[in-house]
Structure 1
């Protein structure tokens, strides 16, 4: 466990203590803000502009799948007292290592985009180049993991910036006057179910695919929250995490939908920025800068932290020098962006590919939930397993059909 882990005496079941509440909301917003990055903003703008109110269906599907994935994963990890890759290796030797490699590579790809998005946010706010902005962001993230109480500071940053993002996007949503009833109807009866497969798998990849699925669960473990007695705590935290992400997705979608249905054309290069400008005028662009920077910084922190938790089983040195490896992850991501750059299409594509990883990771967790050598005498609820199996089936089918869509976006 992290050297900054909380004393288990502060984490007894029942009424939450102050420290429990801090960990609870920290884990929730770490997961939520990890998924609300530049890719989150770009994907939502891209698909809302393309599918309008019908995109509500993909959002609803993604939220249901999110619940099925997060509930199972967080509870099994906490009960087993093991991180995701270690659970998977107990299910099938080598599987956890394979998953860890995929997740670390996916986390790195996401983080390059996160650093780039943060650089653009800083560029909007103070006028420096995006590359200088990316370096500034990296320095801020590095400071978080250089301080003695890095875990508590990470929780505070995720919570504070998450609330700022939710508030500002909500203001844009109200201002844009979206057709809420039309969106509600389309969430169940879209114009064409078939065309919603790619958006749905992309949203799933961006909110619970890859490293994001394990962000909150691993945070709870590092805080000393584990064992059968904390299964309910983990489940409650997972539900709130999905709800927080879902609310952000819905209000962002409605904000964009209001602008699109009003007849405005979103910018190809910065679609979300144009939404804020249309809704709030000149000040909207600066507000977008705040939202983008907040989303990107929290995602940089979340991606680096969670990706390195998957490396901690590779070698004892990673466990011992955990924060140094996190800092190295951030530095490497920043250097790649500064020297190579990051095409906008990658943000959409990585989300889709990340969604294809979910059936593998969630499937391993579901098998683990029935193995006594992993969860002991804990009885994982059957309805949760059923919801998890549904999530696996849907993502396998959607993933198969989305491969063509991914190719179309890449070549289009």
Structure 2
């Protein structure tokens, strides 16, 4: 074999490894973005309320998540366009509206994510939350300043996701949950809480989260119909990781509350970890909260800025610096103002309205040959997507109605 052929073969192997890393990075970016500080609280609160029947909520949300993610990832990668670009092609100007919602919602929630990292460091190391937030922001910024920011982000979210699963699995094990009852009630619940289902779906595939993986694939050069099998597999892995974390946390909480323990309303997830594993459990909670926060900071900043990159060359050329600015501004607001509760309430309403706009426009785009060419989208995926659009629209409207009395 000639030297040039050997070099070509080595390059091919290297490219294949880079592609696999990017695919897994996209899966874990989506999964870890979904597992933010709010994810921990939601799971603890709903488990305490519904007990083993919360398993049905998780099962229903997983099915809906699959419908949303498979639609979004397929349409983005086949078209080779980002979410806002697809929206603009369906209705001129809609992409700008979507981008504004994504950035505002992502920025507001990132304040909470930064706060989560600070509280996580406080619980695990005892440092002041604001100092912890600054340290965490510096770590996130360092990742995006690296020469191969995309590859660095892929590696970091993969590692963080794995550690998160291991730590929560340990707490679940020591809490000794009634696994059999949880499995049974997942299919035969005593109570079906539609609001819980909608809330969990919104927290898992709402806002920027749905598009984080698809946009990451485009940036890695993965697109076209030939990529569909890989994209399907990768999106399911992402859903699987997020769902595994949810299930493990659900079982950990269930094991504690079934012992008659009442969770602290101010920090329900912390109660679970501390009761299950004592002081070590509380330290583990701090690490889990920090991982949930820092991974969501990375995902929110990266994806939010990706919704601006196609609108002007300055966003695309200096996107890493816009991401860093996004993180710095979020940190500044948290340090100066705190959690900014009103801002987070508004962001909740915005977040609930983003997915119906983006997914709805993409479901219209998928049947437009000018956008998708000769690609034929499965009917069952279109139906699943339509269901998700309706559910998240209901969530957004309901949140807006609840928000109005708080603002006036």
Structure 2 CA distance for partners of 1:348 and 1:276, relative to 1, 3 Å: farther
Q: Does residue 1:155 correspond to 2:126, yes or no?
A: no
Secondary structure of 1:17's partner? helix
Query: Which residue matches 1:53?
Result: 52
Q: Comparing 20-29 with 49-58, which one deviates more in the overlay?
A: 49-58
Q: Comparing 237-246 with 322-331, which one deviates more in the overlay?
A: 237-246
* Match of residue 220, structure 2, among 223, 242, 260: 223
Q: Comparing 338-347 with 241-250, which one deviates more in the overlay?
A: 338-347
Query: Which residue matches 1:331?
Result: 328
Query: Which residue matches 2:376?
Result: 379
Deviation for aligned residue 1:313: 2.5
Deviation for aligned residue 1:86: 0.2
Query: Which residue matches 2:42?
Result: 43
Deviation for aligned residue 1:61: 1.9
Secondary structure of 2:370's partner? helix
CA distance in 2, matches of 1:25, 1:296: 20
Q: Comparing 372-381 with 161-170, which one deviates more in the overlay?
A: 372-381
Structure 2 CA distance for partners of 1:49 and 1:409, relative to 1, 3 Å: farther
Deviation sequence 1:163-206 (CA, Å, 0-9, x none): 0000110111111111223323332333333xx22222221121
Secondary structure of 2:160's partner? helix
Which one has the largest radius of gyration?
Answer: 2
Structure 2 CA distance for partners of 1:234 and 1:38, relative to 1, 3 Å: same
Aligned residues of 2:346 and 2:403 also touching (Cα < 8 A): no
Query: Which residue matches 2:5?
Result: none
Aligned residues of 2:114 and 2:334 also touching (Cα < 8 A): yes
CA distance in 2, matches of 1:247, 1:353: 27
Identify unmatched segments of 5+ residues in structure 1.
Answer: 1-8
The two structures have a TM-score, normalised by structure 2, of 0.91
Alignment of 1:113-128 (within 5 A): 113-128=112-127
Deviation for aligned residue 1:246: 0.8
Q: Comparing 361-370 with 338-347, which one deviates more in the overlay?
A: 338-347
* Match of residue 273, structure 1, among 262, 267, 270: 270
CA distance in 2, matches of 1:62, 1:334: 32
Alignment of 1:81-120 (within 5 A): 81-120=80-119
Identify unmatched segments of 5+ residues in structure 2.
Answer: 1-8
* Match of residue 292, structure 1, among 289, 294, 303: 289
Query: Which residue matches 1:251?
Result: 248
Structure 2 CA distance for partners of 1:400 and 1:332, relative to 1, 3 Å: closer
CA distance in 1, matches of 2:37, 2:131: 17
CA distance in 1, matches of 2:219, 2:35: 22
Query: Which residue matches 1:62?
Result: 61
CA distance in 1, matches of 2:321, 2:262: 45
Query: Which residue matches 1:4?
Result: none
Query: Which residue matches 2:168?
Result: 169
Structure 2 CA distance for partners of 1:410 and 1:237, relative to 1, 3 Å: farther
- RMSD (Å) for aligned C-alpha atoms: 2.5
Deviation sequence 1:315-354 (CA, Å, 0-9, x none): 2101010000000000000011111111689879855752
Deviation for aligned residue 1:391: 2.2
The two structures have a TM-score, normalised by structure 1, of 0.90
Deviation sequence 1:74-108 (CA, Å, 0-9, x none): 01101111100000110111111111111111111
Q: Comparing 274-283 with 196-205, which one deviates more in the overlay?
A: 196-205
Aligned residues of 1:28 and 1:216 also touching (Cα < 8 A): yes
Query: Which residue matches 1:78?
Result: 77
Alignment of 1:312-327 (within 5 A): 312-327=309-324
Secondary structure of 2:173's partner? helix
Structure 2 CA distance for partners of 1:399 and 1:308, relative to 1, 3 Å: closer
Aligned residues of 2:345 and 2:403 also touching (Cα < 8 A): no
Query: Which residue matches 2:201?
Result: 204
* Match of residue 235, structure 1, among 216, 221, 232: 232
Deviation sequence 1:35-87 (CA, Å, 0-9, x none): 11111111111222222222222222211111111001101101111100000
Secondary structure of 1:276's partner? helix
Aligned residues of 1:119 and 1:137 also touching (Cα < 8 A): yes
Aligned residues of 1:205 and 1:356 also touching (Cα < 8 A): no
Q: Does residue 1:309 correspond to 2:306, yes or no?
A: yes
Deviation for aligned residue 1:360: 2.0
Query: Which residue matches 1:132?
Result: 131
Aligned residues of 2:349 and 2:397 also touching (Cα < 8 A): no
Query: Which residue matches 2:189?
Result: 190
